[in-house]
Structure 1
């Protein structure tokens, strides 16, 4: 956390906001009294480790492709279907 004056914030707003975007938090003072806090809106991760994804997906329900196809055919009809093959199957 850094502390800057209101005047510094006005003079260096681009640099301060670049720091905030990178995760820095600023306390802004006026006449020696803290009046505001400038912080990122949220922490957005750019990378999620594979282990975390595997842990979160481990409890996901299994997908029954045949049941999903039957449900889609019942809803949309199967007369216009182009291919009955498995698109994920390696040819």
Structure 2
């Protein structure tokens, strides 16, 4: 039986969609997170982001990976796999 190292960093592959909403009467539109999906492979997250971005109700989608340190619980900054459509600037992420 293989031993699983619980202290090894864990990669989380995420597809996150965005929707456009009005900030109010006469205001500009803003992006809000629509849906989030987690996958075990980068290719799955990327394919889902590309597919979701084609939907009429989706402004855009990101596929990214974050690495979690299980000993501290800290999660690193995202590394983007693909950004499709209207997505927020990285600084806004």
Identify whether the pair has TM-score above 0.5, normalized to the shorter chain. Answer: no
TM-score of the superposition, structure 1-length normalised?
0.28
Q: Which has the higher contact order (CA 8 A, sep 6+)?
A: 2
Higher strand share: 2
Higher helix share: 1
